[in-house]
Chain A
Protein backbone atom coordinates (compact mmCIF):
# COMPACT_ATOMS: atom_id res chain seq x y z
CA UNK A 1 0.00 0.00 0.00
CA UNK A 2 1.18 3.50 -0.81
CA UNK A 3 -0.29 4.92 2.41
CA UNK A 4 2.60 3.79 4.61
CA UNK A 5 5.19 6.53 5.21
CA UNK A 6 8.08 7.11 7.57
CA UNK A 7 8.64 10.02 9.93
CA UNK A 8 10.85 11.96 7.48
CA UNK A 9 8.14 11.95 4.81
CA UNK A 10 5.58 12.98 7.41
CA UNK A 11 7.68 16.02 8.37
CA UNK A 12 7.65 17.24 4.75
CA UNK A 13 3.85 17.51 4.98
CA UNK A 14 4.03 20.02 7.84
CA UNK A 15 3.88 23.78 7.35
CA UNK A 16 3.86 26.86 9.60
CA UNK A 17 0.40 28.13 10.47
CA UNK A 18 -1.38 24.80 9.92
CA UNK A 19 -4.63 23.97 11.63
CA UNK A 20 -4.35 20.44 13.03
CA UNK A 21 -6.86 18.06 14.63
CA UNK A 22 -5.19 15.85 17.23
CA UNK A 23 -7.10 12.79 18.46
CA UNK A 24 -7.05 11.46 22.00
CA UNK A 25 -8.75 12.08 25.34
CA UNK A 26 -6.36 13.10 28.12
CA UNK A 27 -3.69 11.46 25.89
CA UNK A 28 -5.58 8.12 25.71
CA UNK A 29 -5.54 7.46 21.96
CA UNK A 30 -3.17 10.35 21.31
CA UNK A 31 -0.69 9.98 18.39
CA UNK A 32 2.43 10.57 20.52
CA UNK A 33 5.04 9.72 17.85
CA UNK A 34 3.42 12.05 15.29
CA UNK A 35 3.36 14.81 17.94
CA UNK A 36 7.08 14.19 18.63
CA UNK A 37 7.75 14.56 14.89
CA UNK A 38 5.83 17.84 14.80
CA UNK A 39 8.03 19.04 17.69
CA UNK A 40 11.19 17.88 15.84
CA UNK A 41 10.10 19.67 12.67
CA UNK A 42 9.94 23.00 14.50
CA UNK A 43 6.84 24.27 12.62
CA UNK A 44 5.24 27.29 14.30
CA UNK A 45 1.99 29.25 14.68
CA UNK A 46 -0.13 26.12 14.75
CA UNK A 47 -3.81 26.02 15.62
CA UNK A 48 -4.43 22.79 17.50
CA UNK A 49 -7.86 21.25 17.96
CA UNK A 50 -7.96 18.58 20.65
CA UNK A 51 -10.40 17.51 23.36
CA UNK A 52 -8.05 18.83 26.05
CA UNK A 53 -4.65 20.42 26.67
CA UNK A 54 -3.02 17.07 27.47
CA UNK A 55 -0.50 17.04 30.27
CA UNK A 56 2.78 18.90 30.75
CA UNK A 57 5.13 17.14 28.33
CA UNK A 58 2.48 14.71 27.12
CA UNK A 59 0.02 14.72 24.23
CA UNK A 60 -0.56 18.14 22.65
CA UNK A 61 1.18 19.53 25.76
CA UNK A 62 4.51 18.80 24.01
CA UNK A 63 3.77 21.19 21.11
CA UNK A 64 2.44 23.79 23.54
CA UNK A 65 5.60 23.50 25.70
CA UNK A 66 7.76 24.15 22.66
CA UNK A 67 5.89 27.35 21.80
CA UNK A 68 4.64 25.97 18.49
CA UNK A 69 0.98 26.58 19.18
CA UNK A 70 -0.67 29.93 18.55
CA UNK A 71 -4.19 28.81 19.34
CA UNK A 72 -5.72 25.83 21.14
CA UNK A 73 -9.36 24.85 20.64
CA UNK A 74 -10.35 22.40 23.41
CA UNK A 75 -13.05 21.54 25.97
CA UNK A 76 -10.79 21.20 29.00
CA UNK A 77 -7.35 22.53 29.92
CA UNK A 78 -7.25 21.82 33.68
CA UNK A 79 -4.77 18.91 33.44
CA UNK A 80 -2.01 21.01 31.89
CA UNK A 81 -0.98 24.03 34.02
CA UNK A 82 1.20 25.27 31.11
CA UNK A 83 -1.90 26.08 29.09
CA UNK A 84 -3.41 28.35 31.75
CA UNK A 85 -0.05 30.02 32.35
CA UNK A 86 0.63 30.72 28.65
CA UNK A 87 -2.95 31.93 28.25
CA UNK A 88 -2.52 34.40 31.12
CA UNK A 89 0.82 35.56 29.63
CA UNK A 90 -1.06 36.10 26.34
CA UNK A 91 1.29 33.71 24.53
CA UNK A 92 -1.48 31.27 23.68
CA UNK A 93 -5.08 31.86 22.57
CA UNK A 94 -7.47 29.32 24.05
CA UNK A 95 -10.98 28.79 22.75
CA UNK A 96 -12.99 26.63 25.14
CA UNK A 97 -15.79 24.64 23.53
CA UNK A 98 -18.22 22.25 25.26
CA UNK A 99 -17.02 18.71 24.53
CA UNK A 100 -20.20 17.57 22.76
CA UNK A 101 -20.25 20.74 20.67
CA UNK A 102 -16.58 20.31 19.76
CA UNK A 103 -16.93 16.77 18.48
CA UNK A 104 -20.18 17.54 16.66
CA UNK A 105 -18.65 20.59 14.93
CA UNK A 106 -15.87 18.32 13.66
CA UNK A 107 -18.35 15.62 12.60
CA UNK A 108 -20.40 18.29 10.77
CA UNK A 109 -17.38 19.45 8.76
CA UNK A 110 -16.56 15.89 7.70
CA UNK A 111 -20.20 15.39 6.69
CA UNK A 112 -20.29 18.52 4.54
CA UNK A 113 -22.55 20.50 6.89
CA UNK A 114 -22.10 24.20 7.61
CA UNK A 115 -22.71 23.81 11.32
CA UNK A 116 -25.01 22.44 13.97
CA UNK A 117 -27.82 23.70 16.20
CA UNK A 118 -27.32 22.78 19.85
CA UNK A 119 -29.01 23.75 23.13
CA UNK A 120 -25.67 23.36 24.95
CA UNK A 121 -24.25 26.70 26.09
CA UNK A 122 -27.47 28.72 25.86
CA UNK A 123 -27.50 31.56 28.41
CA UNK A 124 -23.78 31.09 29.17
CA UNK A 125 -20.52 32.73 28.01
CA UNK A 126 -20.47 30.16 25.18
CA UNK A 127 -23.42 31.97 23.57
CA UNK A 128 -21.47 35.24 23.15
CA UNK A 129 -21.23 36.34 19.52
CA UNK A 130 -23.33 33.42 18.25
CA UNK A 131 -26.66 33.36 16.53
CA UNK A 132 -29.64 31.85 18.41
CA UNK A 133 -32.02 30.05 16.08
CA UNK A 134 -35.49 28.90 17.04
CA UNK A 135 -36.79 25.58 15.72
CA UNK A 136 -40.32 24.49 16.66
CA UNK A 137 -40.34 26.95 19.54
CA UNK A 138 -37.02 25.83 21.04
CA UNK A 139 -33.81 27.89 21.10
CA UNK A 140 -30.53 26.55 19.76
CA UNK A 141 -27.04 27.99 19.29
CA UNK A 142 -25.63 27.96 15.78
CA UNK A 143 -22.17 26.41 16.03
CA UNK A 144 -20.02 26.37 12.90
CA UNK A 145 -18.44 23.27 11.41
CA UNK A 146 -14.76 22.83 12.31
CA UNK A 147 -12.34 21.41 9.77
CA UNK A 148 -8.53 21.39 9.64
CA UNK A 149 -5.60 21.16 7.25
CA UNK A 150 -4.40 17.96 8.87
CA UNK A 151 -5.68 15.33 11.31
CA UNK A 152 -3.31 13.28 13.45
CA UNK A 153 -5.04 10.05 14.43
CA UNK A 154 -3.96 7.72 17.25
CA UNK A 155 -5.16 4.59 19.04
CA UNK A 156 -5.88 2.84 15.75
CA UNK A 157 -5.49 -0.74 14.70
CA UNK A 158 -4.89 -0.41 10.95
CA UNK A 159 -4.97 -2.99 8.20
CA UNK A 160 -2.86 -3.06 5.07
CA UNK A 161 -5.65 -1.38 3.09
CA UNK A 162 -5.72 1.59 5.46
CA UNK A 163 -8.95 0.66 7.25
CA UNK A 164 -9.03 1.44 10.94
CA UNK A 165 -10.64 0.22 14.11
CA UNK A 166 -9.64 1.51 17.52
CA UNK A 167 -8.29 0.04 20.73
CA UNK A 168 -10.73 0.28 23.65
CA UNK A 169 -11.33 3.88 24.80
CA UNK A 170 -8.69 5.20 22.40
CA UNK A 171 -11.45 5.75 19.86
CA UNK A 172 -12.86 9.03 21.33
CA UNK A 173 -12.41 11.96 18.86
CA UNK A 174 -10.30 9.98 16.35
CA UNK A 175 -13.02 8.69 13.96
CA UNK A 176 -14.60 12.16 13.56
CA UNK A 177 -11.26 13.90 13.08
CA UNK A 178 -10.33 11.37 10.38
CA UNK A 179 -13.24 12.71 8.28
CA UNK A 180 -12.59 16.41 8.78
CA UNK A 181 -9.15 17.33 7.41
CA UNK A 182 -7.36 17.74 4.07
CA UNK A 183 -4.58 15.35 5.07
CA UNK A 184 -5.25 12.49 7.48
CA UNK A 185 -2.23 10.78 9.06
CA UNK A 186 -2.57 7.76 11.33
CA UNK A 187 -0.18 6.47 13.95
CA UNK A 188 -1.39 2.90 14.51
CA UNK A 189 -0.87 0.97 17.74
CA UNK A 190 -0.82 -2.16 15.57
CA UNK A 191 -1.05 -3.15 11.89
CA UNK A 192 -2.88 -6.32 10.89
CA UNK A 193 -3.47 -7.89 7.49
CA UNK A 194 -7.16 -7.12 7.15
CA UNK A 195 -9.97 -5.94 9.43
CA UNK A 196 -13.30 -7.78 9.17
CA UNK A 197 -15.44 -5.35 7.09
CA UNK A 198 -18.18 -5.46 9.75
CA UNK A 199 -15.73 -4.06 12.30
CA UNK A 200 -14.17 -1.23 10.30
CA UNK A 201 -14.79 2.12 12.06
CA UNK A 202 -12.84 4.40 9.70
CA UNK A 203 -12.94 3.11 6.09
CA UNK A 204 -9.67 3.51 4.16
CA UNK A 205 -10.75 6.33 1.77
CA UNK A 206 -10.64 8.70 4.77
CA UNK A 207 -7.01 7.80 5.46
CA UNK A 208 -4.15 9.40 3.50
CA UNK A 209 -1.04 8.20 5.33
CA UNK A 210 -0.10 5.64 7.96
CA UNK A 211 3.11 6.01 9.92
CA UNK A 212 5.31 2.93 9.78
CA UNK A 213 5.69 -0.04 7.47
CA UNK A 214 3.32 -2.78 6.46
CA UNK A 215 5.51 -5.27 8.29
CA UNK A 216 5.42 -3.38 11.59
CA UNK A 217 4.30 -5.05 14.80
CA UNK A 218 2.60 -7.88 13.04
Chain B
Protein backbone atom coordinates (compact mmCIF):
# COMPACT_ATOMS: atom_id res chain seq x y z
CA UNK B 1 0.00 0.00 0.00
CA UNK B 2 1.22 3.52 -0.74
CA UNK B 3 0.87 6.43 1.71
CA UNK B 4 -2.50 7.55 0.35
CA UNK B 5 -3.91 4.02 0.48
CA UNK B 6 -2.70 3.54 4.07
CA UNK B 7 -4.47 6.75 5.14
CA UNK B 8 -7.70 5.98 3.26
CA UNK B 9 -7.85 2.38 4.46
CA UNK B 10 -7.41 3.38 8.12
CA UNK B 11 -10.06 6.12 7.90
CA UNK B 12 -12.56 3.70 6.33
CA UNK B 13 -12.48 1.78 9.64
CA UNK B 14 -13.89 4.87 11.41
CA UNK B 15 -17.08 4.78 9.31
CA UNK B 16 -19.94 2.99 11.01
CA UNK B 17 -22.88 1.21 9.42
CA UNK B 18 -25.56 3.77 8.52
CA UNK B 19 -23.29 6.83 8.78
CA UNK B 20 -23.91 9.83 6.54
CA UNK B 21 -20.45 10.87 5.35
CA UNK B 22 -18.98 13.72 3.30
CA UNK B 23 -15.60 13.06 1.67
CA UNK B 24 -13.41 15.91 0.46
CA UNK B 25 -11.34 15.96 -2.72
CA UNK B 26 -8.02 14.07 -2.93
CA UNK B 27 -7.05 11.40 -0.37
CA UNK B 28 -10.49 11.63 1.35
CA UNK B 29 -12.21 10.49 -1.87
CA UNK B 30 -10.21 7.23 -1.74
CA UNK B 31 -11.80 6.30 1.61
CA UNK B 32 -14.91 5.05 -0.23
CA UNK B 33 -12.78 2.32 -1.87
CA UNK B 34 -11.93 0.73 1.50
CA UNK B 35 -15.33 0.53 3.19
CA UNK B 36 -16.00 -3.12 4.10
CA UNK B 37 -18.99 -4.68 2.37
CA UNK B 38 -20.89 -5.40 5.57
CA UNK B 39 -21.34 -1.66 6.21
CA UNK B 40 -23.84 0.56 4.44
CA UNK B 41 -22.44 4.09 4.29
CA UNK B 42 -24.39 6.93 2.68
CA UNK B 43 -22.22 9.54 1.05
CA UNK B 44 -23.32 13.16 0.78
CA UNK B 45 -21.91 15.48 -1.85
CA UNK B 46 -22.28 19.17 -1.02
CA UNK B 47 -23.27 20.17 -4.56
CA UNK B 48 -26.51 18.31 -3.95
CA UNK B 49 -26.54 14.52 -3.60
CA UNK B 50 -27.60 12.20 -0.80
CA UNK B 51 -26.34 8.78 -1.88
CA UNK B 52 -23.37 9.71 -4.06
CA UNK B 53 -22.02 6.85 -6.15
CA UNK B 54 -19.03 6.37 -8.45
CA UNK B 55 -19.26 7.26 -12.14
CA UNK B 56 -21.08 4.41 -13.92
CA UNK B 57 -20.22 5.72 -17.38
CA UNK B 58 -23.86 6.66 -18.01
CA UNK B 59 -24.93 9.65 -20.06
CA UNK B 60 -26.20 11.96 -17.33
CA UNK B 61 -25.70 15.39 -15.74
CA UNK B 62 -24.65 14.11 -12.30
CA UNK B 63 -21.40 15.51 -10.94
CA UNK B 64 -19.73 15.36 -7.53
CA UNK B 65 -18.45 18.34 -5.53
CA UNK B 66 -15.23 18.27 -7.54
CA UNK B 67 -17.20 18.71 -10.77
CA UNK B 68 -16.38 15.13 -11.87
CA UNK B 69 -18.98 12.72 -13.29
CA UNK B 70 -20.72 10.64 -10.65
CA UNK B 71 -23.90 8.64 -10.04
CA UNK B 72 -26.66 8.43 -7.46
CA UNK B 73 -27.43 5.31 -5.42
CA UNK B 74 -30.86 3.69 -5.27
CA UNK B 75 -32.96 5.51 -2.69
CA UNK B 76 -30.86 8.66 -3.02
CA UNK B 77 -31.98 12.26 -3.43
CA UNK B 78 -30.97 15.35 -5.34
CA UNK B 79 -31.09 18.44 -3.15
CA UNK B 80 -30.47 22.15 -3.57
CA UNK B 81 -27.47 23.87 -1.98
CA UNK B 82 -29.46 25.33 0.94
CA UNK B 83 -30.73 21.87 1.88
CA UNK B 84 -27.24 20.47 1.38
CA UNK B 85 -25.84 22.93 3.92
CA UNK B 86 -28.79 22.30 6.23
CA UNK B 87 -27.38 18.76 6.39
CA UNK B 88 -23.83 20.03 6.80
CA UNK B 89 -24.15 22.98 9.16
CA UNK B 90 -27.14 21.57 11.00
CA UNK B 91 -25.22 18.63 12.46
CA UNK B 92 -26.81 15.94 10.28
CA UNK B 93 -23.51 14.69 8.82
CA UNK B 94 -21.87 12.01 10.98
CA UNK B 95 -18.36 12.24 9.59
CA UNK B 96 -16.51 14.60 7.27
CA UNK B 97 -13.08 13.71 5.93
CA UNK B 98 -10.93 16.53 4.58
CA UNK B 99 -7.36 17.28 3.64
CA UNK B 100 -5.44 20.17 5.24
CA UNK B 101 -2.33 22.28 4.81
CA UNK B 102 -1.81 22.49 8.58
CA UNK B 103 -3.48 21.17 11.72
CA UNK B 104 -2.57 22.02 15.30
CA UNK B 105 -2.70 20.27 18.65
CA UNK B 106 -5.88 22.12 19.59
CA UNK B 107 -7.65 20.83 16.48
CA UNK B 108 -7.56 24.04 14.48
CA UNK B 109 -7.35 23.51 10.72
CA UNK B 110 -5.84 25.57 7.87
CA UNK B 111 -6.74 24.52 4.34
CA UNK B 112 -8.03 27.32 2.13
CA UNK B 113 -5.41 29.99 1.56
CA UNK B 114 -1.66 30.53 1.40
CA UNK B 115 -1.52 34.35 1.49
CA UNK B 116 0.27 35.82 -1.51
CA UNK B 117 0.62 32.41 -3.17
CA UNK B 118 -2.52 30.40 -3.54
CA UNK B 119 -6.11 31.40 -2.89
CA UNK B 120 -8.43 28.58 -3.96
CA UNK B 121 -11.14 29.61 -1.49
CA UNK B 122 -12.87 27.63 1.22
CA UNK B 123 -15.73 26.15 -0.81
CA UNK B 124 -17.82 24.12 1.63
CA UNK B 125 -14.94 23.22 3.97
CA UNK B 126 -15.62 25.85 6.64
CA UNK B 127 -19.24 24.75 6.98
CA UNK B 128 -18.29 21.05 6.96
CA UNK B 129 -15.74 21.27 9.77
CA UNK B 130 -18.07 23.52 11.78
CA UNK B 131 -21.17 21.37 11.46
CA UNK B 132 -20.17 17.70 11.10
CA UNK B 133 -20.36 15.53 14.23
CA UNK B 134 -16.85 14.17 13.64
CA UNK B 135 -14.06 15.82 11.64
CA UNK B 136 -11.28 13.57 10.35
CA UNK B 137 -8.22 15.10 8.73
CA UNK B 138 -6.60 12.94 6.04
CA UNK B 139 -3.17 14.08 4.94
CA UNK B 140 0.48 13.21 4.51
CA UNK B 141 2.33 13.69 7.79
CA UNK B 142 4.68 16.32 6.36
CA UNK B 143 4.88 18.40 3.20
CA UNK B 144 8.09 16.87 1.77
CA UNK B 145 9.68 16.99 5.21
CA UNK B 146 8.16 20.32 6.23
CA UNK B 147 6.05 19.90 9.38
CA UNK B 148 2.27 20.26 9.03
CA UNK B 149 1.13 19.15 12.49
CA UNK B 150 1.90 22.15 14.65
CA UNK B 151 1.51 23.59 18.13
CA UNK B 152 -0.44 26.42 16.50
CA UNK B 153 -1.45 26.84 12.84
CA UNK B 154 0.48 29.58 11.03
CA UNK B 155 -1.77 29.87 7.96
CA UNK B 156 -5.22 31.52 8.14
CA UNK B 157 -7.69 29.10 9.72
CA UNK B 158 -10.52 27.19 8.13
CA UNK B 159 -11.89 26.57 11.61
CA UNK B 160 -10.85 26.96 15.22
CA UNK B 161 -10.60 23.75 17.31
CA UNK B 162 -12.80 21.51 15.15
CA UNK B 163 -10.63 18.50 14.15
CA UNK B 164 -11.24 15.28 16.09
CA UNK B 165 -8.97 12.74 14.43
CA UNK B 166 -5.84 13.16 12.29
CA UNK B 167 -4.74 10.22 10.13
CA UNK B 168 -1.43 10.27 8.25
CA UNK B 169 0.71 7.54 6.68
CA UNK B 170 2.75 7.50 9.92
CA UNK B 171 0.12 7.50 12.65
CA UNK B 172 -3.35 8.17 14.05
CA UNK B 173 -3.80 11.08 16.47
CA UNK B 174 -6.86 12.21 18.41
CA UNK B 175 -7.55 15.74 19.61
CA UNK B 176 -8.82 15.66 23.19
CA UNK B 177 -9.40 18.43 25.72
CA UNK B 178 -5.95 17.90 27.27
CA UNK B 179 -4.10 17.82 23.95
CA UNK B 180 -3.13 15.68 20.98
CA UNK B 181 -2.91 11.97 21.75
CA UNK B 182 -0.86 9.55 19.68
CA UNK B 183 -3.10 6.49 19.35
CA UNK B 184 -1.55 4.32 16.68
CA UNK B 185 1.76 4.23 14.82
CA UNK B 186 2.44 2.57 11.47
CA UNK B 187 4.87 -0.30 12.28
CA UNK B 188 7.12 0.98 9.47
CA UNK B 189 8.01 3.93 11.75
CA UNK B 190 9.14 4.38 15.37
CA UNK B 191 7.45 6.72 17.84
CA UNK B 192 10.64 8.82 17.74
CA UNK B 193 10.39 9.19 13.97
CA UNK B 194 6.77 10.32 14.33
CA UNK B 195 7.73 12.85 17.00
CA UNK B 196 10.61 14.17 14.89
CA UNK B 197 8.19 14.78 12.01
CA UNK B 198 5.72 16.58 14.30
CA UNK B 199 5.93 20.07 15.80
CA UNK B 200 2.86 19.58 18.04
CA UNK B 201 3.32 18.15 21.51
CA UNK B 202 2.11 14.57 21.38
CA UNK B 203 0.69 12.87 24.43
CA UNK B 204 1.95 9.28 24.38
CA UNK B 205 0.31 6.83 26.77
CA UNK B 206 -0.62 3.60 25.11
CA UNK B 207 0.35 3.41 21.46
CA UNK B 208 -0.96 0.58 19.30
CA UNK B 209 0.14 -0.54 15.82
CA UNK B 210 -1.78 1.36 13.14
CA UNK B 211 -4.69 -0.70 11.83
CA UNK B 212 -5.83 -1.09 8.25
CA UNK B 213 -2.38 -1.59 6.75
CA UNK B 214 -2.11 -4.62 4.52
CA UNK B 215 1.45 -5.80 4.38
CA UNK B 216 1.78 -7.10 0.85
CA UNK B 217 4.90 -9.15 1.74
CA UNK B 218 2.98 -11.16 4.32
CA UNK B 219 -0.25 -11.41 2.36
Q: Which of B49, B82, B88, B118 contacts A176 (CB 8 A)?
A: B82
Find out whether the CB atom of B89 lies under 8 angstroms from the CB atom of A100: yes
- What is the interface of chain A mostly: helix, strand, loop, or mixed? mixed
Which of A74, A100, A171 gathers the greatest number of chain B CB atoms within 10 Å? A100
Q: Which residue of B lies closest to A55 (CB)?
A: B67
Measured between beta carbons, the chain A residues less than 8 angstroms from B158 are 124
A99 within 8 A of B: yes
Measured between beta carbons, the chain B residues less than 8 angstroms from A204 are none
Which of B57-65, B96-104, B167-175, B209-217 binds A?
B57-65
Measured between beta carbons, the chain B residues less than 8 angstroms from A170 are 61
Find out whether the CB atom of A28 lies under 8 angstroms from the CB atom of B67: yes
Q: Which of A79, A155, A175 contacts B67 (CB 8 A)?
A: A79
Counting contact residues on chain A (CB < 8 A from B), the size range is 35 or more
Which of A8-16, A39-47, A61-69, A115-123 binds B?
A115-123
Proximity bits, A128-163, B CB within 8 Å = 1, else 0: 000000000000000000000000000100000000
Find out whether the CB atom of A28 lies under 8 angstroms from the CB atom of B160: no
Find out whether the CB atom of A96 lies under 8 angstroms from the CB atom of B89: no
A194 within 8 A of B: no
Quote the shortest CB–CB distance from B205 to chain A (angstroms). Answer: 30
Measured between beta carbons, the chain B residues less than 8 angstroms from A155 are 61
Find out whether the CB atom of B80 lies under 8 angstroms from the CB atom of A174: yes
B199 within 8 A of A: no
Which of B2-10, B26-34, B120-128, B183-191 binds A?
B120-128
Measured between beta carbons, the chain A residues less than 8 angstroms from B47 are 25-26, 28, 169, 172
Quote the shortest CB–CB distance from B155 to chain A (angstroms). Answer: 10
Quote the shortest CB–CB distance from B157 to chain A (angstroms). Answer: 5
Quote the shortest CB–CB distance from A17 to chain B (angstroms). Answer: 25
A104-B85, A172-B81, A173-B80 known; 7 new pairs, CB 8 Å cut-off, are: A74-B121, A75-B123, A119-B130, A120-B126, A121-B130, A126-B122, A166-B78
- A residues contacting B by CB (< 8 A) are 25-29, 51-52, 74-79, 84, 87, 94, 96, 98-101, 103-104, 107, 118-126, 155, 166-176, 189, 201
- Going nearest first, the 4 A-B pairs with the smallest beta carbon separation are A78-B120, A100-B85, A26-B67, A100-B127
